Amino acid sequence: MQMKPYRIGTRGSPLALAQALETRDRLMAAHALPEDAFEIVVLSTKGDRVTDRSLADIGGKGLFTEEIEEQLSDGRLDLAVHSSKDMPTKLPDGLDLVAFLEREDVRDAFIGRTAARLEDLPLNAVVGSASLRRQALIKRLRPDLSVITFRGQVETRLRKLDEGQADATLLAHAGLKRLGNTEVITELLDAKRFPPAPGQGAICIEARIGDDHISDLLAPINHVDTHVALMCERAFLGALDGSCRTPIAAHATIENGRLSFYGMALTPDGSVWHDIRTEGPAADAAQIGADAGADIRGRAGPAFFESWV
> What pLDDT, on a 0 to 100 scale, did the predictor assign at position 71?
95
Lowest mean pLDDT segment, chosen from 62-66, 185-189, 277-281, 290-294:
62-66
Reported pTM: 0.91
Strands 168-172 and 126-128: parallel
Lowest mean pLDDT among 113-122, 150-159, 257-266, 272-281: 150-159
DSSP annotation string for 97-157 = EEEEPPP----EEEEESS-SSGGGSPTT-EEE-S-HHHHHHHHHH-TT-EEE---S-HHHH
The closest of 115, 113, 164, 119 to 144, measured between CA atoms, is 119
Walk me through the domains of the chain, giving residue ranges and CATH numbers. Answer: 1-103+202-222 (3.40.190.10), 108-188 (3.40.190.10), 223-309 (3.30.160.40)
The active-site residue out of 86, 211, 241, 291 is 86
Query: 86 catalytic, yes or no?
Result: yes
Check if the beta carbon of residue 19 is closer than 8 Å to that of residue 81.
yes
Q: What is the pLDDT of residues 88-102, one digit of tens each?
A: 899 999 999 999 999
pLDDT band, residue 130 (cuts 50/70/90): confident
**Could you tell me the pLDDT band of residue 304, with boundaries at 50, 70 and 90?**
confident
